[in-house]
Amino acid sequence: MSFDVRQLGRVDYLPTFAAMQAFTASRREVASQTGLQPNQDLRDQLWICEHPPVYTQGLAGKPDHLLAPGDIPVVQTDRGGQVTFHGPGQVVAYPLIDLKRAGYFIKEYVYRIEEAVIRTLGHVGVTGHRVAGSPGIYVRLDDPASHAALTGPRDPLDPFRGLGKIAALGIKVSRHCTYHGVALNVAMDLEPFSRINPCGYAGLTTTDLSTIGVSASWQEAADVLGQKLMTYLAP
């Protein structure tokens, strides 16, 4: 599977969201008119960008997780998950792919995106971790390079103790076609995360590469993440 990779730069969230919906709808429309599968009409794409400050709320998002958004706009979306923040210094990747063509299901799609993030972090010497039941990628705040696995049950009162979330995941699948995606924090103003319960978890620490001591440019992180996504999302 090959992607058309589009580096969009810094773009407003709402028109990007609308463009993802339109692209996905056009795939369905062409397929219905021709009898072809969407992948036979439009190549899969990977959009890489960053957004001005914005909170985005998932379909199941609860208003009480928005603590004090202030002057940062809040956008209701059609992706899964709860509220998150996008802002400058964060690499956002939107894979627009046909899972039927790729040959795997949603659960594996999520796993593959997370693996791409883990490999991207490994490129800069950071070990990314999954936390069962909590999509996204986390790092050990006291030792980001530690390869030690997260073993044993997490504290039910503080399941993220010692961890910081460095990448958030939110997806939508419509007739096998994906949109929305993953956001990797590189060098951000993290203060807006304190105004929400990130991804619906009160007190969850959000971090970025800069805070854990990694000096990487936005472009470097974007290039590596794009490459890893193309590799790990292949059929």
- Report the catalytic residues: 199
Per the DSSP assignment, residues forming a β-bridge with 92 are: 49, 183
Q: How far apart are CA 71 and CA 169, in angstroms?
A: 24
Starting at the edge strand that comes first in sequence, how are the strands of the sheet with 84-86 ordered? 74-76, 54-57, 84-86
CA 84-142-203 angle, to 5 degrees, is 35
C-alpha of 31 from chain center: 27
DSSP annotation string for 119-154: HHHHHTT---EEETTEEEEEEESS-TT------SPP
For 17, the token pair is 């969201």
